[in-house]
Structure 1
Amino acid sequence: MNYTNMLSHVRLCAAAAAVLVLTGCATTANNPQDPLEGYNRAVYSFNDAVDRTVLKPTATAYKKVVPGFAQTGVNNFFGNLSDAWSSINNFLQGKGEAGATDFGRVAVNSTFGIFGLLDIASEAGMQKHNEDFGQTLGKWGVPSGPYLILPLLGPSTVRDTAALPADFAGDIWTYKTPVNWRNVGTGVRIIDKRATLLDASGLMEDAALDRYEFLRDGYLQRRQSQVYDGNVPRQADDVAEPAPSETK
């Protein structure tokens, strides 16, 4: 399956998942932010099986075999590409200074950093921001909607799922030619990202009694913090936390 077909498949899965949310299927959850808990747990189990059998072993081998400087270069390269879309989203959110900084990061790292393999901009004190269209929609006042786990893509919300087509379109690597280079790069990108999460996932497996709830609550809190740039209003914070009677 080439990247274009895979992208179409992912979008179809995301759209189907959103339809399930809107039609109110499987509403058996105790958490008001997770009305589709039954469905989400099923998808979580599927994703976890794929991770345990394919992604985690591959990422573990990648981390052991590939030299550290090469892993850093891969991470920097794709991080540099993401800075371009982050810059646009900062501008869309009215954060001109952050948008200009991210744009400057791309310019500096793409030239002096050898196409982004070196993160010269961070060394120069240019702060990196990670903004996507889901955060932009949140900044515009679009509510997150219910928690939703997407096949293969993992944790999301209805708002973030609706933002995925824009995020895919804003990913420069989507337009890389020839296609075989694009596919190889996409695979390396996924493995590298999973490798960076190995330690965190190990801690979660050891510490969490219910890994599904641990992942859900952590994701929702993190996304809320990202939308408000770490300054979550008290009212929004109260809404995000379920009442004691609603917790398990």
Structure 2
Amino acid sequence: MLVKTLRQGTVCTVMALLLAAPVNAETTEQKDPWQGLNRAVFTFNEQVDRFALKPLAQGYRYVMPDIAERGVSNFFSNLGDIRSAVNNLLQGKINDALTSASRVVFNSTFGLAGFIDVATPIGLEEKHEDFGQTLGRWGLGSGPYLVLPLFGPSSVRDGIGLIPDIALDPVGDVDHVPTRNSLYGLRMIDVRANLLRAEQMISGDKYLFVRDAYLQRREYLVNDGEVQVKYDNDF
């Protein structure tokens, strides 16, 4: 219930910010006009991560056998393929939509509810798409950069994209509240555990590093890799 409430609150905040948001984001000031607020939320998220999420993720990685950890990641990845199938279809990528749907079928059956990824070895590669990418493919600009409480780096467009993505999340359909919240928590810890090694690459101003890396990656994903990489002078 807590996660669901936080998500609803985040969606309301993003919708309110959208009404006052400029669309283009070319210069640093234009793409990050709320840097003061964003840095404050970033600091809050860092404290939550430092004292809660990171220790949990480190403990999780320490006690979980590698095969079990991969199984959990595969399970949630399989659920994510449902969202990818819908968004690929909305973008007109019929073959990718069929691939994502086929992954769900094969992994949910032969892969024991998704704990084993049997789809990738037979040539059904993951075709990750979310509604933020779909909006980008439809021509909607990313809007200003936005750091969301607990969710982390985002943009106005990607924040709006959370609404249908949340609706497509099968975990939200679990009626038993303790089970649903346990799945939310386990997924959050699994994601954080997978980022433990990646965070070692961060250098300099962490806020700027994360912001520029996020915006460049999102542009790359929206354009299916056809993008010129650019760096800010202050990065």
TM beyond 0.5:
yes
Q: Which residue of 1 aligns with 2:90?
A: 92
CA drift at 1:177: 3.0
Name the SS of the counterpart of 2:30 in structure 1: coil
Write out the 4+ residue segments of structure 1 that deviate beyond 4 Å after TM superposition.
none
The counterpart of 1:116, out of the listed 114, 117, 133, is 114
CA drift at 1:165: 1.1
What CA distance in whole angstroms lies between the structure 1 residues aligned with 2:10 and 2:130? 20
Sequence identity, in percent? 45
The code of the aligned residue for 1:226 comes to L
Q: Which residue of 2 aligns with 1:176?
A: 174
The counterpart of 1:159, out of the listed 157, 160, 175, is 157
CA drift at 1:125: 1.3
Whether the aligned pair in 2 keeps the contact of 1:47 and 1:154 (CA below 8 Å) is yes
CA drift at 1:22: 4.1
Shift in alpha-carbon separation, 1:17–1:94, aligned structure 2, 3 A: closer
The 5 Å alignment of 1:1-248 reads 2=1, 5-20=2-17, 22-23=19-20, 30-204=28-202, 208-232=203-227, 247=234
What CA distance in whole angstroms lies between the structure 2 residues aligned with 1:177 and 1:101? 29
Name the SS of the counterpart of 1:156 in structure 2: strand
What's the TM-score, normalizing by structure 2? 0.92
What CA distance in whole angstroms lies between the structure 2 residues aligned with 1:97 and 1:114? 25
The code of the aligned residue for 1:34 comes to D
| Number of equivalenced pairs | 230
Whether the aligned pair in 1 keeps the contact of 2:212 and 2:231 (CA below 8 Å) is no
What CA distance in whole angstroms lies between the structure 1 residues aligned with 2:12 and 2:148? 10
What CA distance in whole angstroms lies between the structure 2 residues aligned with 1:215 and 1:11? 24
What CA distance in whole angstroms lies between the structure 1 residues aligned with 2:211 and 2:13? 20
CA drift at 1:8: 2.7
CA displacement 1:151-208 (0-9 Å, x = unmatched): 000000000111111110011111023221111111111101100000111331xxx1
What CA distance in whole angstroms lies between the structure 2 residues aligned with 1:97 and 1:21? 33
How large is the Cα RMSD of the aligned pairs?
1.8
What's the TM-score, normalizing by structure 1? 0.87
What CA distance in whole angstroms lies between the structure 2 residues aligned with 1:9 and 1:190? 14
